[in-house]
Amino acid sequence: MTVTRCEIGADEALAMVKTAVEHAKSNGWDVTAAVCDPRGGLVAFLRTDNVIAPAESFAMDKAFTAATLRKASGDFGTRMSEKPTLSLGIGTRDRLITWHGGVAIFSDGVCIGGIGVSGAADQEDVECAEAAIRAAGFQTTA
């Protein structure tokens, strides 16, 4: 059997992290931005000069979460908080993160990856991610 995959390309991913970082800079925010393919592999990464160091791995984990779960990392956080048994297990799962700022990237109803932004406030991170998705001509939902 042959499997055909549709996933974000390097050129599109690089353009998206640039857009996210430029959007942040235009608002005076320091962020990191990362794009992963649907399996969670890092495709592109960029940061502003003065962002805090932990934001780098946070952005990568937000992108990983959004890409592999095919939903926003904040939506995943809401689901985890609704069921105590789920929230107890999240701490044992490497790379899955429940904070806002990770957004799945869809093209024609197919999840082609995820973008994660970290360093600003929750809604500002989401704003940067969604601006990058729109500018690239993709969608945030199937």
- Domain with residue 103: its CATH number is 3.30.450.150
Q: Which domain holds residue 119?
A: 10-135
Report how far residue 5's alpha carbon sits from residue 24's, in angstroms, rounded to the nearest whole number: 31
For residue 82, what pLDDT band results from cuts at 50, 70 and 90? confident
| Whole-Å CA distances, 120 to 60, 86, 105, 139 | 15, 27, 20, 22
Residue 62 lies in a domain: yes
For the chain, how many structural domains are there in total?
A: 1
Both tokens of 99, joined, read: 């904070």
Q: Is 92 exposed, middle or buried (0-12, 13-18, 19+ CB in 10 A)?
A: exposed
Residue 25 lies in a domain: yes
pTM (2 d.p.): 0.94
pLDDT tens for each residue of 96-113: 999 999 999 999 999 999
Residue 116 lies in a domain: yes
